[in-house]
Every structure is written in structure tokens, then in C-alpha cells.
Amino acid sequence: MSIEQQIQQLREQLNKHNYRYYVLDDPEVPDAEYDRLFQQLKSLEAEHPSLITPESPTQRVGGAPLAAFKQVQHELPMLSLDNAFNAEDMQEFNRRIVDRLAYPADTEIGYACEPKLDGIAISLLYENGVLIRGLTRGDGSTGEDITLNVRTIPTIPLKLSGNDYPERLEVRGEIYMPKAGFSALNKRAEQRGEKPFVNPRNAAAGSLRQLDPKVTASRPLEMCSYSVGVVEGGELADGHAAILRQLKNWGFKLNPLLEEVSGVQGCLDYYTRVAALRDTLPYEIDGVVFKVNNLALQKTLGFVSRAPRWAIAHKFPAQEEMTVVRAIEFQVGRTGAVTPVARLEPVFVGGVTVSNATLHNMDEVERLDVRVGDSVVIRRAGDVIPQVVRVIIERRPDAATPVVAPLTCPVCDSDVERLEGEAVARCTGGLYCAAQRKEALKHFASRKAMDIDGLGDKLIEMLVDLDLVHNPAGLYLLRVEQLEKLERMGPKSAENLVNAIRVSKATQFPRFLYSLGIREVGEATARASALHFGDLDPLMAATEEALLEVPDVGPIVAKHIIRFFAEPHNREVIADLLDKDKAGVHWDIIQPVEREALPLAGKTWVLTGKLEQMGRSDAKNHLLALGAKVAGSVSAKTDCVVAGPGAGSKLKKAAELGIETMDEMQFIAFLQQHGMADV
């Protein structure tokens, strides 16, 4: 293929992807793939400048605006930014600036830094402090008039504050959808049977391009300002960061992570800090933007055809990538859930190499229509398990194989069943299934359950693989001489573990009940059930009607409890756990109490900040024992807030609502007043 043909092919691909991304809001490939194609074309054109044409994607920004909106020419073009992908790219960017300014090589340039929001670029024009027009970036020279829509966004001022702003002022920024709003929007869409948005950026774009402003008004959109365009009849500060702070004074939201740094190392340090915060931020970002802070230097540096010389976007490692599904296998979890997992052609995404991605359940497989051999886009964010986002149908090979749900467990060959109303199919093998056995034992030994110190996940897997433990009761039969022979175990470690197992025999009924791993029975439900029935035998004999009298127990949970205790092998394991000659697990019988008789019955409490004398978990358990409901957020229905050091917004909201608050010492005194002498 000739150079001309390569260039033409790349242009056609990029134009297609631009159209799908900017116009249709339906990208076909992840950003990382687009960036690679763009860099390839840019490199070829640099080598063969005679082949550059005005219509090349490297000579313009974005795609044509939608015809449904009035098209308006930007008074000043809204250009794109060049990208840096590593430290070397940033150092080269800084070197070019220093060289062009004819400064000494060791000169440290001042930069304004802020996160690169993943949203929609917008231009807002104000005349005499009043918003008169809002435009999308469009193709960089012509945008779409969405004035009625931007007026509905609360973070966009309709009238500027103060009186020192220019007569005509164009403010540029990014409209985006916060993560929480995006999740809520998709949840509502799914409840209505509608197709959810792929990501917050698409949701923001789709919301802005609504012909009915009322729809836009109903969407959780925000805007952060990042620059200015046209300025007439007034003067601005001489530094980029200072201008942004002026905008803040006039009523615009700025990114709180805006900073000024010195030199390229300052930029790299800022990049590292923001990258570490990425997953904790309430909004999506895909990199960091660096701009020469001094406006006079910006003017000297100028522009190339599509981007300023004085700014660059340092992109994070891609969180979405494209790869190929090599196989689809099924894994079995603690509750028997049989989950499809895609085995992938290894690909670097989100800073790590990924070779597996979850597909959740067969409904998700069918929704995506994913097949073995398909090219797919996967997403990884932080520590979240990578997931398949979409299938690229256009690349599907003829030999792509549909997925068939297994009828028997891939681990133990027991029947797989899918109950009515559930999305997940489950193995019926219970503790006889090795996969479930491992997960059940991990849960049984966990801190909130039997709290067996030193019995970690790796050791449990080893015990099951070596056929030393078949169920939780088998843990109590382990001997030092068995354990000391295991990998990374010695006589002392083995002795400590046996002692920890022995100590766990003396427990509490709610802990034991939670440790059994009954579906939908968490800490709160286990405690409520224990308080209601007092001991195990009445609970095991309880009818559905009796179980429904327990707070926090509904029809579904009641059925799971009954089904669990009806299984003969579960009863056998419980009998072995309680047998004095075998495991010997025991607890003090709880005197059953009516919930209404508890001192905090019907009350809602909230814990916030760090509790130094007791853990949050212990505090929660004490409150549950007194009959309280422990909530995660403060509302008008909250009765009391316990606030330790570092309490923030929850404590502030409690004060605003006039809700009673306690510090930790007051809380401890309160608990002691109600008979909890052990705190």
C-alpha cells in the first residue's frame, strides 16, 4: 500500500470515528484507539508535508454539527489540544516552548494545571453580564446553538456577579455529568426499560442535544470553566490561573484542583497527584491539562493549525481498550452463582495488563450479544473488575461462536438452576462444590463472622485443594502436624492458627448466623434474627410467617433462610459445628426481645468521622442491639448523629437540620447508660 493510500485510509477511519463520537454520540472504538490512529496520520503527514490537505482530520477539530440546531460561527475558533502520553512527551513539549521563546535550556516555565474533564466543550457569550448565547464546539469553527439548554444548568450563571467584568465576555468550559448523577440516571432508565447510557460523557452529550429544554433541565449536568475567548470592553488578569479565579468571582464554577506549578517536573508531580485521586473524584477525568500561565508568553508562542503551542493534555493510561474474546468460561462463587467470564487477548488498560473481564450473567451476555472471537471494548477503572462495555459488530468474524449457558456446574457437575425473577443461575451443589466451599470458608473465617485470625484466603484455598477441609466444621479438626507441613507454614505458625481456631469456638449467635453465609443475610439481618428468636433451634424451625415478623426480613430473605435450613447437608454441617466432640462452637443464649421494647426501636442513627475508642463496626453493632436503624446519610428522618474527629458534611447537615449530635465520649456514656458495660 502506498503512502498516499495509507494516509487516505487513516483519514477515512478518523472521519468515521469523529462523526460517531461528536455527532451521533455513539463511538465505535475507545479513545485510545482513536489517539493511535490520529498519531499515525500526524506522523505520516509530518514525513510527507506535501500530502497535507485542508480536509485532513489533523487540520480541524471534531465533526459537523447536528442540523437540528441552528449553526453559529465561532468568533474565535475553539481549537483542540495536542496530547502527551508519557513523561518524555511532556519534556519534549516543555523543550519546544523554551526553544521557541529563546530562553536558556534550564528555564522553568510557569504552568496552570487542572484535571481534564471528560465532557462536552461549550462556549458561553455574555453581554453586559447577561448570558445571551451558548454554543457547542462542533467542528471548532462552527457550533450548535443550545442556549435554551445551557440556561437550565445550575452551575452556569444567567447573570454575572459583581460589576468588573468586560462588556462582552466569552467563557469556555466543560459540561459534564457527575458519577452519582450518571448512576441515578441509568438506574431510572433501566427501571423504565430504556437503554442506559454507555458512560457519563455520552450521557452529558445526549442531555445537551435535547430539543426539549425540559429534558435537559431534568438531567444532572454541571459545568467547569477553563478559559475565555472573546473579550471586549474590559481587561482581564495577565495570567491564565488568575483569569480563572476572576471567573470564579463572577459566578463560574472552577475545578478545585486548579494549581500553578513551575517547570516540567512540577507538571509531572501534579500529574502523579491527580492520577492517584482519579478514582475518588466525583466526576470522570481522562488526563491533566497544562497551559503556559503567562498570557504574554501564550501570545508569543501562538498556534499551529489545530492547537495552541502553549497547552497540552497529558492523558492517563486508557481505561477503555479494544481486544478480542478468546473464550468464555463460567466461574462459581460462594452462593453458587455461575458467572460468565470473558478470557481476552491480553491488553494494557487502566495501568495494568488485563486478560479477563466479567460478563455478570447470561442476561448481560445476551444484551451485549458477545461471542467467542468478537472484538470488544473493555473498561477498567481503579480496582473495579474489568468489564466488557460493548461489542464491535463490524469486526465480528464469520466463525464467532455464541455462548451457551451450562446446565451443570463446571466445578462439581451438580445441576444449575435459575430461579424465577433472578438474573443469576446457581449451582445446586452447596458446600459439596469445591468452588463454593472455598468461598464459604473464606466468609466463615472473616472478621465480621467467626473472626479466625491468621486464616487467610490463600491458606483456605490450599486446605481445600489438598482435601484437608470439606466444610466449616472441618476447620476445628485441623492439627498442628497437618498444618506445619504446608507451604509457608512452620510449627509456630501452625500452632498459632490452631489456637485461633480454638478461640473462635466461643462466639455470639449473630456472628455464627452471619458466618453460615445464608443468601441475603448480612450483619444487620443476622443480628435482628438472633434477637428475635434468641437461639438457633427456634430459627431453624421457623415458618415463613414467623420469619416475616423479624425486622429487615422480607419474603425473599425468608425463603432463602428456609431453603438453607431445609438442605440436609447444611444441617449436617451445623450439627458438626455444634457437636462438643467435634467442633464445639458455642454461645450464650440471647433472651428473645420484641423489637418495639428496645430503647432505640424506630430510631435512625448515623455514624460519621473516625471513632477512636471503638471501631465503626462495633459502634454499629451496639446501635443495632439497641434496636436502632443505622443509616449512611443524614436526612430529616435522622434522630441522632455520632461524630468522631474528621466529621464533615454529615455533621454540617445535622446542624442545619437541628438534629441531635454526640461526640464519641458522649456516645460511650450513652451506651453504658443502656447496659452496655463492655464498651
How many C-beta neighbours within 10 Å does residue 172 have? 18
Q: Yes or no: say if 118 and 285 are a contact pair by the CB < 8 Å rule.
A: yes
What secondary structure does DSSP assign to 245-311, as a single string? HHHHHTT----TT-EEEEHHHHHHHHHHHHHHHGGGSSS-EEEEEEEESBHHHHHHH-B-SSSBTTE
Q: Is the dihedral of CA 72, 74, 77, 78 positive or negative?
A: negative
Provide the residue type at 624 as one letter.
L
Among candidates 405, 371, 368, which has minimal Cα distance to 388?
A: 368
Among candidates 201, 555, 198, 614, which has minimal Cα distance to 391?
A: 198
Rounded Cα–Cα distance for residues 123 and 620 (Å): 49
211 CB-near residues (< 8 Å, 6+ apart): 68
Provide the pairing of β-strand 311-315 with 82-84.
parallel
Burial 76-98 (b: 16+ CB within 10 A, else e): ebbbbbbbbbeeeebeebbeebb
Among candidates 81, 62, 16, 19, which has minimal Cα distance to 313?
A: 81
Among candidates 321, 343, 336, which has minimal Cα distance to 434?
A: 336
How many C-beta neighbours within 10 Å does residue 167 have? 12
Rounded Cα–Cα distance for residues 434 and 444 (Å): 15
How many C-beta neighbours within 10 Å does residue 407 have? 9
The set of cell numbers assigned to 472 is 466449616
Rounded Cα–Cα distance for residues 86 and 323 (Å): 22
Rounded Cα–Cα distance for residues 265 and 263 (Å): 5
How many C-beta neighbours within 10 Å does residue 540 have? 16
The set of cell numbers assigned to 393 is 459488530
Q: 138 in the Ramachandran plot: left (φ > 0), alpha (ψ -120 to 50) or beta?
A: left
Rounded Cα–Cα distance for residues 70 and 401 (Å): 46
Tracing cell 448523577 back to the chain, one arrives at: 181
Q: Yes or no: say if 515 and 448 are a contact pair by the CB < 8 Å rule.
A: no
Rounded Cα–Cα distance for residues 32 and 348 (Å): 11
Rounded Cα–Cα distance for residues 250 and 171 (Å): 11
Rounded Cα–Cα distance for residues 553 and 304 (Å): 66
Rounded Cα–Cα distance for residues 478 and 356 (Å): 35
Among candidates 172, 149, 156, which has minimal Cα distance to 240?
A: 172
The set of cell numbers assigned to 183 is 448512576
- Residue 321 CA, chain-centre distance (Å), reads 17
Q: Which of 16, 42, 116, 438 is catalytic?
A: 116
Rounded Cα–Cα distance for residues 415 and 407 (Å): 6
289 CB-near residues (< 8 Å, 6+ apart): 81, 113, 114, 115, 116, 226, 311, 312, 313, 314
User: Would residue 116 show up in a list of annotated catalytic residues for this protein?
Assistant: yes
First to last CA, the chain: 78
Residues that are catalytic: 116
